[in-house]
Structure 1
Amino acid sequence: MTPWTSRSGTGAPLVLCHGGPGIWDYFDDVAGFFDDTATVIRWDQRGCGRSPRDGPYTVARFVADLDDLGDRPRFDVLGHSWGALLALLYALEHPGRVNRIVYVSGVGIDPEHTWKPTYRRNFAARVDPRWYELEDGRERAILQWSTDFVDPATAREHAERMATPWHGLNPECADALNAEVGRYLERGDLPARCRGLTVPTLIVDGRHDLRPRDAVDSLERALPDVRRVSLDAGHVPWVEEPAGFRRTVREFLADSAR
């Protein structure tokens, strides 16, 4: 499978891993934050967006796909939400390939039952009730993604921008990966594996994310070389706090390169 990719800028490679799973790259703004100092590589993951809808939809296959993107021996990787976990799992499998990890709005390494009920309550309190009545599609996605932003006056505008252009969802991919990740986290071995990971890591949270941020505490405790920054934002911090996000990540990538 040859995924859809986009490259911009010059410098050391920085690979961006979008969330989902089952959607597509939405990192237009983020790429612009770094393309004066890095070769920014964006991609639509297997079965998502502009990439072929080819399985298998497994964590191992997605880790292998990410490995295929790096055109140099080592690169930086920034992942958001599901993509943050993918970046972490990739570094655990291939620590010699990763210079630095930027872990944005992930949900940690604890079993999902420790945080998902809280997220579902928070989501139900914020989502437009029409979400429950709609079939899968663009409008339903916009209503769901609107909950990821703090200010209701601008939330829909931000969500519509993420949904434009619309590349369609892949529920088969989402269901398969979410189920596997749930089983993976139940095994409980990730904290021990993370304690052995010496790759410098930056955790970026939006303090108003509907997903409880204390779910990430055990990951922060486990990583030997970690920084953590909370911004005044929801689940997509570079949209609501672009200056703070850009400064935080650029400083981390520059400092940890010394």
Structure 2
Amino acid sequence: MDKQTISRDGTPIAYERSGDGPAVILVSGAMSTGATVAPLAGPLSDRCTVLAYDRRGRGASGDTAPYAVDREIEDLAALIDAAGGEAALYGVSSGGALALRAAASGLPVRQVAVYEVPYALDDTSARERAEYTESLTAALRDGRRGDAVELFLSLTGLAPALIQGARQSPMWAEMETIAPTLAYDDQVMSDGRVPHGLLASVTCPVLALAGGASEEWMRQSARAVAEAVPQGTYRVLTDQNHMVEPAVLAPVLAEFFAG
């Protein structure tokens, strides 16, 4: 990240800027940094000015206690200022929930696109989210960062054997480094249910995307987002799962943001 803006509470937020055209800010999800969404910047920069940033507590950005979702919305406000005073937002997974919250807050957001925000659609999923929140809070309070990462990977449905394999991989240390930010994404997701009241206040156009190869509940959740906002569109990307391929996603986003 070669640029920096300062959020309202004094936290430095690192970002990279590329391209020319309408501004688009890329918002990463849990256990990820700006580098995770940066592969979208290249294909989008032909038609848009793209800002990929490290959310607070990650990568080259700072962190200031105590955390609140409002602080992350202020981070986006600072980035929008740096982009020229108005921007579209693209958020993946829980980053999509943050993008929608930012749009609902009244920031000058032109459009929002989200990919597979993991909102719960039934009581069982909501209970699982509540149990995750309780266990995650305890693990981070006790300094058990590895356990916190394992809880998150289990929540995503990763098999226990694969999680144990990941613990032995070189990337595990980096995952433990940003493990405290799992609590941030958990707060962004609130109780995990589709926030119908909040979404009803998002007045800009919203594109809710899901992968055709993802689990059915992911597509149902994306459809629920599109139906809950006043100007929503739902679209499925054929053969894609939660790890959507930038080459497939970028043209869809470019058409939405610049078209």
What TM-score range do you get, normalising by the shorter chain? 0.7 to 0.9
Specify the code of the residue in structure 1 equivalent to 2:99.
Answer: A
**TM superposition shift of 1:134:** 5.8
Which amino acid in structure 2 is aligned with residue 37 of structure 1? R
* Cα distance in 2, alignment partners of residues 191 and 234 from structure 1: 25
CA distance in 1, matches of 2:59, 2:229: 33
**For residues 167-216 of structure 1, what are the alpha-carbon distances to aligned partners after superposition, in whole Å with 9 as ceiling and x for unaligned?**
863222212441x2454546x7x212322322101112112235831233
Q: Which amino acid aligns with 2:208?
A: I
1:198 to 200, 203, 206: 203
- Tell me the amino acid that sits aligned with residue 87 of structure 1: A
Out of 96, 99, 117, the position equivalent to 1:84 is 96
Identity across the alignment (%): 21
Partner of 1:248: 252
Distance 1:112 1:94 in 2: 31
Alpha-carbon distance between aligned partners in 1 of 2:65 and 2:41, rounded to the nearest angstrom: 27
Give a deviation string over 1:219-250, Cα, whole Å, max 9, x none.
221112111211111112234xx2x3222212
Q: Is the 8 A contact 1:101 1:201 kept in 2?
A: yes
Q: 1:52 aligns to what?
A: 62
Deviation sequence 1:85-116 (CA, Å, 0-9, x none): 11000000025x01110111212375784378
Partner of 2:141: none
Distance in structure 2 (CA, Å) of the matches to 1:225 and 1:94: 16
**Contact conserved, 1:109 with 1:216, CA < 8 A, in 2?**
no
**What residue is the counterpart of 1:226 in the other structure?**
232
2:28 maps to amino acid:
H
Q: 2:161 aligns with which of 104, 120, 129?
A: 129
CA RMSD of superposed structures (Å): 3.1
1:36-64: CA deviation from partner (whole Å, max 9, x where unpaired): 22111111011111212433332111111
Q: How far apart, CA to CA, are the structure 1 residues paired with 2:172 and 2:22?
A: 38
Tell me which of 24, 36, 56 is aligned to 2:46. Answer: 36
The 2-side partners of 1:88 and 1:234 are apart by: 21
Counterpart-to-counterpart distance in 1, 2:170 and 2:113? 29
Distance, in Å, in 2 between the alignment partners of 1:18 and 1:122 is 16
> Which residue of structure 2 lines up, in the alignment, with residue 151 of structure 1?
none
Query: How far did residue 123 of structure 1 move?
Result: 2.0
Q: Unpaired runs of 5+ in structure 1?
A: 142-165
What residue is the counterpart of 2:222 in the other structure? Answer: 216
d(CA) in 2 for partners of 1:67, 1:29: 23
SS of structure 1 residue aligned to 2:252:
helix
Q: How far apart, CA to CA, are the structure 2 residues paired with 1:140 and 1:212?
A: 29
- Contact 1:78–1:102 at 8 Å: present in 2 too? yes
Q: Which amino acid aligns with 1:15?
A: I
Is residue 2:16 matched to residue 1:6? yes
8 Å contact 1:23–1:169 — kept in the other structure? no
Aligned residues: 221
Aligned 8 A contact 2:26 2:90 in 1: yes
Any gaps of 5 or more consecutive residues in structure 2? 1-10, 130-152
CA distance in 1, matches of 2:27, 2:21: 18
2:206 pairs with 1:174: no
- Residue 24 of structure 1 aligns to which amino acid in structure 2? T
Query: TM-score scaled by structure 1?
Result: 0.73
